[in-house]
Amino acid sequence: MKKVKEVRRYCKYCRKHTLHKVSQLKLTRKRGALKLSSRKFERIMKGYGGFPRPKTMKSSRHGVKTTKRVTLLYKCSECNRITPSIGIKAKKFSFVEK
């Protein structure tokens, strides 16, 4: 899927159509090492026994997922507020220049 970087759309804060800059949501933050869930996970992994989560889709007969959900962020050029869109499913995603 290809999308343009700038688009005119309705801003609910300005209550009118303004120019929005489109960007893709990317999660870069790691999970907290001291959170209860990660401590629990480490405790389980420590001794005997296998991995505590079910095997990935790859090893099952159902095959691998081929699409990924892309969340787009629209930043208003007037109030600089960001509105996220509902994720679209796409195999490939890229921005194109107009």
Applying CB under 5 A, the residues found at the interface with Zn ion are 11, 13-14, 76, 78-79
Q: Which is nearer to Zn ion, 21 or 90 (CB)?
A: 21
Neighbours of 72 (CB within 10 A): 19
Give the rounded distance of the alpha carbon of 17 from its chain centre. Answer: 26
Decide the pairing of beta strands 68-70 and 6-11. unpaired
Smallest separation, CB 19 to Zn ion (Å): 10
Smallest separation, CB 78 to Zn ion (Å): 5
Smallest separation, CB 20 to Zn ion (Å): 8
